[in-house]
Amino acid sequence: MDPLTMTAGASFYGTILSALSCIGTVQPNMIHMSTNAWFAVIYVSTFASVGAYFLWNAGVKIVGAGRAAPYINLLPVWTVVFGILLLHEQISGTSLVGGIITIIGAVLATL
């Protein structure tokens, strides 16, 4: 399947299921968001979700699912790395050990 079609389908069905899960749990008067918060939601839903998902699917199409599969496990590692670099978060020993194990596993699975 073409990556754009797959991304569009996943985005559409994900939006529908997310909206359905909110029925009866969220009242309109409960939502108080600033302009910056709306920009953050738009950014995350566009670039960080749809854009990244599209690029991942395009990469899988190029290299094949077998070669790409081990690297999906690096998502939490990149989350921690960007948290440290961009948000100046502290890394715990458990996160460091888990990241190292994940990287070693991805490298071994590729070999």
Q: What is the DSSP letter of 92?
A: P
Residue 8 sits in which domain range?
3-110
The residue type at 108: L
Structure-block tokens of residue 43: 């950014």
In eight-state DSSP terms, residue 74 is G
CB-CB neighbours of 84 under 10 Å: 13
Q: What mean pLDDT value characterizes the chain? A: 86
Q: How far from chain centre, in Å, is Cα 23? A: 24
82-104: pLDDT as tens digits = 899 988 999 999 999 999 999 99
- pLDDT score at 88: 92
**Structural domain tally of the chain?**
1
HSE-up of 101 (CA within 13 Å, CB side)?
A: 6
Does 7 have pLDDT greater than 80? no
